[in-house]
Amino acid sequence: MKTKPLILISNDDGITSKGIRTLVELMSELGEVVVVAPDKPQSGMGHAITVNESLRLYKTDVFEDLGVEAYECSGTPADCVKLAKHHVLKDRKPDLVVSGINHGSNISVNVLYSGTMSAAIEAAIEGLPAIGFSLCDYAHNADFSHIRGYVKRIASEALRNGIPKYVALNVNFPAIMQGEIKGIKICRQARARWQENFDERKDPHGRLYYWLVGDFINEDPGQDTDVWALDNGYISIVPCRFDMTCYESFPAISQWEL
């Protein structure tokens, strides 16, 4: 008999989030699942890793009802994937690494800040096929029911066909019901940014503190981007890689008198 595929799951919303439970339920239908996820929310951590303090890793029964082996980690999402590959799984190589399902979108430049996508990209750095899943709904009790079939289908296709080496798929779902989703688009990342500011406030003791606020500005009119796809009722899939070299700039910079 063919061995069931081994699927590693992590996230950035924490091991008790609704999104990761949905993902564990779905991936358990496709293979053997092992979870290594943060013990608390780690949103916005990007690709941070823990180097100046110890990491804690504890086995947990949070998915015992699903028969899934799980560990909670004191570190970042990238830490979780590193610990999973080199310690928890040891000589076992995952057939697929999935991260999420994130509560909130990870489109455009947000991929740089996202702990969800950093877990997936860390796996890609290790040469493992990886997918980050996100729903455009930040509520802690977000409804994932309408995307369950799509998540399972995309993961199944990744297991069947493979993902190019060193590539992680960034999958975002619009927060609309299944009947309103128009389909799936393979997209590029939109050229967008955050127009940010720091809101100055005072705590109950009169001491100043600052809260990051801002607006998401899409400067890309293209109809082949992740932002366009989600705005128009499609699921977006952006293949991402960790090589950030801008090859097009080589000719211009080569003209410098260095």
Tell whether 204 is covered by a domain: no
CA distances from 36 to 84, 127, 160, 214 (A): 6, 18, 24, 32
**Rounded to an integer, what distance in angstroms lies between the CA atom of residue 124 and that of residue 3?**
23
Q: What is the domain range of residue 154?
A: 6-189+222-254
> How does pLDDT run across 159-196, given as a tens digit for each residue?
999 999 999 999 999 988 777 999 999 999 988 888 88
Q: Is position 203 annotated in a ligand binding site?
A: no
What is the domain count for the chain? Answer: 1
The average confidence (pLDDT) of the chain is 93
Tell whether 163 is covered by a domain: yes
**Closest by alpha carbon to 106, among 95, 97, 115?**
115
Tell whether 194 is covered by a domain: no
Tell whether 115 is covered by a domain: yes
- Using the predicted structure, report yes or no on whether residue 2 has a pLDDT greater than 70: no
CA distances from 170 to 106, 178, 204 (A): 8, 20, 41
Q: Percentage of the chain with pLDDT > 70? A: 99
CB atoms within 10 A of CB 122: 27
**Rounded to an integer, what distance in angstroms lies between the CA atom of residue 177 and that of residue 168?**
26
- Using the predicted structure, report yes or no on whether residue 252 has a pLDDT greater than 70: yes
> How does pLDDT run across 11-37, given as a tens digit for each residue?
999 999 999 999 999 999 999 999 999
pLDDT of residue 219: 85
Tell whether 213 is covered by a domain: no
pLDDT of residue 197: 87
Q: Is position 43 annotated in a ligand binding site?
A: yes
Q: Is position 10 annotated in a ligand binding site?
A: no
Tell whether 33 is covered by a domain: yes
- Using the predicted structure, report yes or no on whether residue 40 has a pLDDT greater than 90: yes
Query: What CATH number does the domain containing 238 carry?
Result: 3.40.1210.10
CA distances from 135 to 53, 69, 102, 146 (A): 32, 25, 6, 10
Structure tokens at 17: 């989030």
- Using the predicted structure, report yes or no on whether residue 248 has a pLDDT greater than 50: yes
Tell whether 203 is covered by a domain: no
pLDDT of residue 135: 96
- Using the predicted structure, report yes or no on whether residue 118 has a pLDDT greater than 60: yes
Question: What mean pLDDT do residues 219-225 have?
Answer: 90
Tell me the Cα Rg of the chain: 19
- Using the predicted structure, report yes or no on whether residue 109 has a pLDDT greater than 90: no
Tell whether 130 is covered by a domain: yes
- Using the predicted structure, report yes or no on whether residue 1 has a pLDDT greater than 60: no
Question: What mean pLDDT do residues 99-115 have?
Answer: 91
Residue type, 1: M
Question: What mean pLDDT do residues 224-230 have?
Answer: 94
Query: Model's pTM, two decimal places?
Result: 0.91
Q: Is position 95 annotated in a ligand binding site?
A: no
